[in-house]
Structure 1
């Protein structure tokens, strides 16, 4: 018996249906003129080099008196948190009564080649925190760190615990040597010195294709076959194109900071080992005593859950809580179901501690 039992008439019918979907999809794409992203109103309140600190316009009469600073990763653009109005973490936080600020790291250029992690964490991030504090006449703020931005936020909170009232980490890697971390296995033996010395700044496109290679069939093949089912209306097509725009909008990475991050975190696992030194200061996780909400995705292939939940064993906070969602690394931001729950939960958690 043949292992493939395909009737010719069924194959022809499937091909005709595929061609019809393709034709209809092309007509839909022709009707799209612009893809809107970052839809929530905001204003720039501080600028330094390529960095811009934004404050989003509050939408409740009396927002939380302790503002929330969102610290995103360097490797992607932060508008993932505000991709569209009905699936916006930022808008959800505003609706939950939070006064939200966000750091946009911008696009590093050749002048940023020698920026270090100290420049980012003890320089840019620290000055943004002080700016927010000064604007509100307070000494401490709330911080929400996302992915690599969560790792930065942990480092900052350990170095400057007096500046952080509450800390939220979201899909944040702490243990970079978990057995299920494919990205870490790849990077452990990478000659990062050769890469940085040769390229200077690391091209964002190179990193982007590295992430896509973690699931090559799903993210570079199957996705585009499934795309035809997303092109039946203009709104559905825009949703797909917004994601595509974000995925391929990857800033270059400042060479020295990239070198440090690979060596200290991926190769030495220094944060988890509690032996990380930035500049002349030790990043002692035992200094983290403020309340912590640790949010992770159970199906995350970039930051596996085990890489995040280890945090509870490394800090001294007596107010630690975890919040898990059944989603992947990106799905946690674009799932309509999660966006109805997660920002509201964050808002309630902060309100009871402010």
Structure 2
């Protein structure tokens, strides 16, 4: 077995350790000013060798993506919107002054990598193969400025069901003292610094007994942005789904976009707008908001049963999962696993 993997592929999906178990191979390609992108290859998973002065280690010039491969009931494998992930990867690269990759090659590399390591794609309910494309600046350079050399790599690893104990609501803590990102900054880029900046508050929320942090805008501390590693949605009267409009400081989630397209086909209305946190709290208290849920690659849909703000807690839908979140989750995952037809042409087969 590859020394970097710690799981036997014969194990049941529930035994897979997400984020610490890796498949056998990786894709890599290098960039420099003379040759551009070159030396693209898939090879056995191995450790990276970096100069201690590599720019990524000192100035966080780095981006990444996250998507999944799903095992269909017929044994085939589906990718979900890899083209959209490639587009966002390049958008993040441009913001971080990094070279864009060939989106077509990027997607083909994912397909070939998943096909080669198809034995790692679990077949259990809710299980998947997580795919992590990454780009890092590798130039040994301690002066501040964009690097000249980069490494683009893709690794994968099996993941069991996100909801190990069922599709249950999480609790959310509203951060008033700390902010995740500011408009004009790098909040809309999928770069590691955004997540590192959230760790202090996330750990504090966990100590208080909450699962996620709800971030507010950095200018007024008034408008809802996103939750942890997910976008956030509010359901009014079981019919209208409201989510914060993209502002430049909110990650444009692929799952968010998918749900905004899917929801109207299920007879739900959708609205993207600026959402005042006090109005949200008032609407929860009055019962106008009947459900709240987060959405992202990992969980797809994550119901929220409780929001805490300024040491006061507000329970949504009796702390139970609501019908809108359930319907969206069931329908989108059915498309991802090939259980129902895909009317949006989101699925890319690896067969």
Q: TM-score range by the shorter chain?
A: under 0.3
| Higher RCO (C-alpha under 8 Å, 6+ residues apart) | 1
**TM-score, scaled to structure 2:** 0.26
Select the structure of larger CA radius of gyration: 1
More strand by share: 2
